Amino acid sequence: MGAHNRRAGRGRISRRRAGLAGAVVTLASGAMLALIADGALATSFTVSSQQFKISADTMDATGFVNYGWVNQKADRTAEPVAIAGMRRAELTNLCQSVLTTLPIVGDITLRLTAGADSPVIGTNMTVDMNQMDGDAVFDSIEIGRDASTLNKGPAGAVGLQGLFGQQANTLHVDHLQQIAWATQAGTFTLPGLQMKISRGRNECF
């Protein structure tokens, strides 16, 4: 907590106002949905029709960027998302869960946990999300930068020219909660990985 407070002068945002995804998606998705419909914009890949939840006690990211995008879902519809890109991310007590409801069987939860004793590490990572909450501290943040000029995140993590983007040297988040469609990483190291499937609702949050 002490380190968190020392960095508060460089861009602290409270948990209730740290929904990074919402503003970017709202500003960018209308134009990109039109481009998708016209066939002018290729999406990064086709995502499933299921979202998943991610939580962590802490996340420390180096080389952070955030901008709006649109993914194509398996049913061929367009899904506006906010891309969070990080050159390197460390997460403690990571939890990832997917809830599926099947006929007759009912709710089934697939839950993955890792990083209880040593952090989960991802490099050149991007998360396609529509919600991100937590107590956030940014270092050297640039808000409102042209998304096509972002240069602090992973290679290729840029948006469309003229649309909203933001970036920071580092990002620290306590009590991270995300709702996402997809995650990509160059490497993803998960110490103490456990993956379980159970009946009922057993989501991360």
Work out the pLDDT band at 48, boundaries 50, 70, 90.
Answer: confident
Report the Cα 144 to chain-centroid distance in Å.
Answer: 19
Whether 171 maps to a domain, the answer reads: yes
pLDDT of residue 80: 85
Whether 205 maps to a domain, the answer reads: no
20 burial type by CB count under 10 A (0-12 exposed, 13-18 middle, 19+ buried): buried
**Distance (Å) of CA 62 to CA 83, 128, 178:** 15, 18, 18
Whether 16 maps to a domain, the answer reads: yes
Whether 168 maps to a domain, the answer reads: yes
Work out the pLDDT band at 110, boundaries 50, 70, 90.
Answer: very high
Overall average pLDDT of the 123-145 stretch: 94
pLDDT of residue 199: 94
Higher pLDDT, 190 or 5: 190
Whether 119 maps to a domain, the answer reads: yes
Which residue's entry shows tokens 């007590």? 93
Whether 204 maps to a domain, the answer reads: no
The boundaries of the domain holding residue 88 are: 2-199
Reported pTM: 0.81
Which residue's entry shows tokens 């960095």? 7
Domain count, the chain: 1
Separation CA 149–CA 113 (nearest Å): 35
Helices then strands, counting H and E runs in the chain, come out as 2, 11
